Structure 1
Amino acid sequence: MLWDLLMLLQITSVVWVPICILSMLSMFYCRLLGYRTTISLGIVGVPVHELSHLLFCVLFNHKVIGLSLYKPCIDGTLGYVSHQYRVTWFSPFANLIIGLAPIAGGVGAFIGLTYWLRPDVISAFYALNGGVLSYKGVQEGLIGVLAQIVSQGGFYITLLWLMMSFSLLLFCAPSKADFYGCRAGVLTLVVMLVAMIWAVPEQAKQFLEVISPLLTFVGSLLISTVILTALLFATFLGVSKLIRIKLNALTS
């Protein structure tokens, strides 16, 4: 039983730790960039974040009572989705999915945007990984993706892609309110899995062995998202500095 509990801790941390890191780094980047730059970048990423919440609210038949896709406020709120629902046994899990939905929405929008503006980046990513996504391949592919970003593509297209991509990945991270809404779902899920390990250990072990590869793969994608966001952040700062230098040269 102890081994099964350790296995449960391992496979859940593979997913949950990168999510927490992504959220903390997002807040850190926003503080470094400052309020004005953050709200400017949010024009793209925040609506996608809120639309992701909205989509899953509709799918789970929650009543949406308030919606703002993009409305910066003094308290730091850039958008929100307020919803009501009839409490059932599934409600904690629905709220968990709704709270984490922006990760899927932001990453999905980023992939679609890249296919549209910089398909060569996607091609390079798949070429380096033999067309197959794997834990090791995803990590190695990021180096090739960064090289592809800076070495090819038109300047203005690349600049547009960079700004929009950074915005999507920066704001796909769950907010404090999202984590608050997820808490009951996470607790319920952990309690159910622990109870399953205690009541039917053999079946629980088989279940954990089945979902472990999937969660490991999801974790690798989340880690890649963290790394890629950091690379885009560094690239964004570098490009911004170059633009300021050119503007100063033109005006001097």
Structure 2
Amino acid sequence: MDFLFSFFNTLLLSFVELFYLLGILMAVGLLLGILERYSNRYLVRTFGPRGILVTAWIGTPIHEIGHLIQCFIWGHRVTKVKLLQLNSPNGVLGYVEHTYNRHSIYQQVGNFFIGLGPIFSGIGSLILSMYFLVPQSYIAFLDQIQHHITVDKFDLSVLKIIAEAVIVIFKSLFTIENLINPLFWIFLIIAISISSHIALSKADIQGSAKGLLTIFVLLVLFNLIAGLFQMDSYRLVVKIAKYNVYVLAFSSFALFFSLITLVLSILFYKIKFLKG
């Protein structure tokens, strides 16, 4: 009976640790998915089924490149790649097919990160675009993170700091100087295109779930071994999980532009509705 109770506590502890380590990342993926779903819904209502293709020529390749890079990192064998296909009969705009060694724990864990690859490539591309096209906004954003965010503290005050960073981005982007700067409009087109296709598909989520299960099993084994040696595994995991401060900070960037995309798609829909 004591063994069963101890094992149950280990499972519960592992679940909590899994949330600390990956919960923020999964929540960001969920929010991006919700924003993209509604944005695309209004775009289709406004411009028809092919309305999504307006942003696909930039957003879809970056989405698929995210999967591709993670495949290379985690040792998966890529069998087929389609960065963009506009005339697919089933509506699939792009895909990356890959295989892996099911006996390799490393490659099994990789399924989680391969599924989430578009979030990494999307955020990275947004930041890179800002760096080259609107550097003053990039500097303002980076300065906000460097001087106000620290991994030593991860509480509700962090959300306030990140919200302030988003406000800084907004103020530095939408200025009179930028509105008359062609590079700003190029950046805005790129940012909207990326954020319109950054969310995970059903296949992406299913692939990530396989890796997530492996990570959970590894955490259970880790906690069982830690218990035998009387180690405080929970404190160690919580300390590692402080990197979520930066996950939130950079994810706010993608969420910000996904929200702008949603607002613009609703605006286009309202304009068409008023004209009609």
The TM-score with structure 2 as length reference comes to 0.76
| Runs of 4+ more than 4 Å apart | 127-134, 235-238
Alignment partner, residue 100 of structure 2: 85
Q: Secondary structure at the match of 2:190?
A: helix
Alignment partner, residue 165 of structure 1: 191
Deviation, 1:68, is 0.8
Alignment partners' CA distance in 1, 2:182 and 2:64: 28
Superposition pairs for residues 24-63 of structure 1, below 5 Å? 24-34=34-44, 35-63=49-77
Residue identity matched to 2:140: A
Residues 91 and 149 (structure 1), Cα distance of their counterparts in 2 relative to 1, 3 Å cut:
same
Residue identity matched to 1:167: S
- 1:8 pairs with 2:32: no
Superimposed CA distance per residue, residues 106-145 of structure 1 (whole angstroms, 9 cap, x where no aligned partner): 1111111111111121122234456454534332111121
Superimposed CA distance per residue, residues 168-203 of structure 1 (whole angstroms, 9 cap, x where no aligned partner): 122222211111111111011122223433442434
Superimposed CA distance per residue, residues 11-38 of structure 1 (whole angstroms, 9 cap, x where no aligned partner): 1433322222212322221122113221
Residue identity matched to 1:149: L
Residues 233 and 94 (structure 1), Cα distance of their counterparts in 2 relative to 1, 3 Å cut:
same
Superimposed CA distance per residue, residues 129-169 of structure 1 (whole angstroms, 9 cap, x where no aligned partner): 56454534332111121122221313532222111111112
Alignment partner, residue 118 of structure 1: 134
Q: Which moved more, 1:44-53 or 1:209-218?
A: 209-218
2:223–2:233 Cα contact (<8 Å) kept: yes
- 1:206 pairs with 2:235: yes
Superposition pairs for residues 65-104 of structure 1, below 5 Å? 65-72=79-86, 73-87=88-102, 88-104=104-120
- 1:109 pairs with 2:125: yes
Alignment partners' CA distance in 1, 2:237 and 2:74: 26
Q: Quick one: higher RCO (CA 8 Å, sep 6+), 1 or 2?
A: 2
Residues 235 and 56 (structure 1), Cα distance of their counterparts in 2 relative to 1, 3 Å cut:
same
For the aligned residue pairs, the C-alpha RMSD in angstroms reads: 2.9
Alignment partner, residue 20 of structure 1: 30
Identity among equivalent positions (%) equals 23
